[in-house]
């Protein structure tokens, strides 16, 4: 089977892991964790990085850091991996789901503005001026753009919208290490960005995440909350409900090695993307995800649309090519079906019905790429 997206482990991973094992530094304290945080933050151009067990934990902590509670709404796109929505729900907040663009599958900013214009109002209290949803009277506290598949929408417009409506931005940059918009890295447009290092990501720690921010106080608080909010080095005294979310040294060791080879992984992804685009152009009714002007994506997972998605999915998997459908839109899932969904034509539903992801590992060989293309073409030529 040609796998969908697996890690490439060809650098210093085993050396660094062995170092942890030999020195006994396998747990949540250890130099690799600090080094990994620094490497990720530096790469993204952020001042601080805080490593977590996984991206989901990072997204959860991001909400907690900004004070999101059950009295709030958080805006998110309707097409995303479920972790985005779970992180919102962990705080008790209610998501507002926004439909996506038909071409790049990112949050539809026109619909976002429609919602903010028509269904919220700015109110000033002693705490400041904020947007409130006029139906629920809840504060609309934050917006979570998701850089779907490592692609990025128009972040300049999104930042301007957030400013106008007094919203914080938490970027779900789980899939977007290496992606930029106007030469600015994903995860650095708002107060907080979160990367994932899950096994299927562009580089991996097995499981892991890093929160990035330029705000020293937020970074300190993130480190505090992810380590059980302990205030004394000696005594077990804690000043908040904390979390056991810190990444362990042995996994961070893998991360350090993966970061060392990241430029190669990024290059391989871009070559894979270029190959698929040139070889699948004009095959059947295949339509590629569009890349907005100004975006330089990391080309994490090659995904395209076709009306024959289900048929192709079965054919590829039956012929040794691991392929997957796209995420079911959030509004179609039982847990979120009662949450507000802002849409005109339910683009999410058609993106879901027609999109398929194909093998995209950083270590995919030319022979494997050619096999994938040949099998796809076969179906359309039958």
Ligand X SMILES: Cc1ncc(COP(=O)(O)O)c(C=O)c1O
**Catalytic pick from 8, 138, 201, 269?**
201
In the complex with ligand X, which residue's Cβ is closer, 131 or 207?
A: 207
In the complex with ligand X, which residue's Cβ is closer, 101 or 198?
A: 198
Q: Are strands 303-305 and 287-288 parallel, antiparallel or unpaired?
A: antiparallel
**Residue 234 tokens, joined:** 């000696």
In the complex with ligand X, which residue's Cβ is closer, 347 or 373?
A: 347
Distance CA 224, CA 226 (A): 6
Whole-number minimum distance, CB 83 to ligand X, in Å? 4
Q: Which one, of 237, 260, 193, lies nearest residue 59 by Cα?
A: 193
In the complex with ligand X, which residue's Cβ is closer, 5 or 131?
A: 5
**Residue 142 tokens, joined:** 């934050």
Find where tokens 């295949």 sit: 286
Whole-number minimum distance, CB 207 to ligand X, in Å? 6
Whole-number minimum distance, CB 181 to ligand X, in Å? 16
Whole-number minimum distance, CB 84 to ligand X, in Å? 5
The upper half-sphere exposure of residue 365, i.e. CA atoms within 13 Å in the direction of its Cβ, equals 4
Whole-number minimum distance, CB 195 to ligand X, in Å? 8
Q: Is 201 among the catalytic positions?
A: yes
* 19 contacts: CB under 8 Å, gap ≥ 6: 253
- Give the residue at shortest CB distance from ligand X: 55
Whole-number minimum distance, CB 185 to ligand X, in Å? 16
Q: With left for phi above 0 and alpha for psi between -120 and 50, is residue 261 left, alpha or beta?
A: alpha
Contact footprint for ligand X (CB under 6 A): 54-56, 80-81, 83-84, 146, 172, 174-175, 196, 198, 209
Distance CA 92, CA 379 (A): 46
Distance CA 123, CA 139 (A): 9
Total residues found in the chain within this entry: 382
In the complex with ligand X, which residue's Cβ is closer, 84 or 151?
A: 84
Give the H/E segment covering residue 50.
strand 48-52
In the complex with ligand X, which residue's Cβ is closer, 57 or 312?
A: 57
Distance CA 304, CA 151 (A): 13
For residue 189, give the 3-state DSSP assignment.
coil
* Helix residue ranges, H only, the chain: 13-23, 31-44, 55-65, 82-90, 109-119, 155-164, 216-225, 249-260, 262-280, 309-318, 347-354, 366-381
What are the beta bridge partners of residue 169?
A: 143
Distance CA 206, CA 251 (A): 7
In the complex with ligand X, which residue's Cβ is closer, 243 or 275?
A: 243
Distance CA 87, CA 61 (A): 8
Whole-number minimum distance, CB 210 to ligand X, in Å? 10
Q: Catalytic residues, which ones?
A: 201
């Amino acid at each position: 089977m040609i796998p969908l997206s697996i890690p490439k482990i060809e650098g210093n991973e085993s050396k660094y892991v062995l170092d942890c094992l030999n020195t006994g530094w396998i747990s949540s304290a250890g130099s690799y964790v600090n080094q990994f945080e620094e490497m990720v933050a530096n790469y993204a151009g952020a001042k601080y990085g805080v490593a977590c067990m996984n991206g989901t934990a990072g997204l959860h902590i991001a909400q907690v850091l900004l004070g999101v509670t059950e009295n709030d709404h958080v805006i998110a796109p309707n097409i995303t991996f479920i972790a985005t929505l779970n992180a919102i729900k962990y705080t008790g907040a209610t998501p507002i789901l926004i439909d996506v663009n038909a071409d790049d599958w990112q949050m539809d900013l026109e619909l976002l503005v429609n919602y903010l214009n028509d269904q919220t109002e700015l109110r000033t209290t002693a705490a400041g001026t904020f947007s409130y949803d006029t139906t629920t009277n809840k504060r609309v506290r934050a917006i979570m753009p998701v850089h779907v598949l490592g692609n990025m929408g128009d972040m300049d417009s999104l930042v301007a919208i957030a400013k106008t409506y007094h919203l914080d931005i938490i970027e779900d940059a789980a899939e977007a290490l290496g992606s930029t918009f106007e030469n600015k890295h994903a995860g650095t447009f708002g107060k907080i960005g979160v990367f994932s290092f899950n096994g299927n990501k562009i580089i991996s720690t097995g499981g892991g995440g890093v929160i990035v921010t330029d705000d020293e106080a937020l970074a300190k608080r993130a480190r505090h909350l992810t380590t059980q909010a302990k205030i004394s080095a000696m005594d077990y005294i804690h000043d908040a409900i904390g979390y056991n979310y810190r990444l362990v040294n042995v996994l961070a060791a893998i991360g350090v090695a993966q970061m060392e080879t990241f430029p190669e992984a990024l290059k391989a992804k871009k070559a894979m993307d270029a190959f698929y685009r040139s070889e699948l152009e004009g095959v059947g009714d295949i339509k590629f995800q569009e890349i907005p002007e100004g975006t330089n994506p990391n080309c994490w997972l090659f995904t395209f649309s076709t009306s024959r998605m289900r048929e192709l999915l079965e054919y590829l998997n039956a012929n040794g090519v691991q392929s997957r459908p796209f995420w079911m839109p959030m509004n179609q899932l039982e847990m979120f079906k009662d949450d507000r969904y802002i849409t005109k034509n339910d683009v999410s539903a058609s993106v879901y019905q027609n999109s398929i992801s194909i093998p995209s590992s950083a270590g995919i060989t030319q022979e494997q790429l050619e096999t994938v293309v040949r099998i796809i073409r076969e179906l359309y030529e039958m």
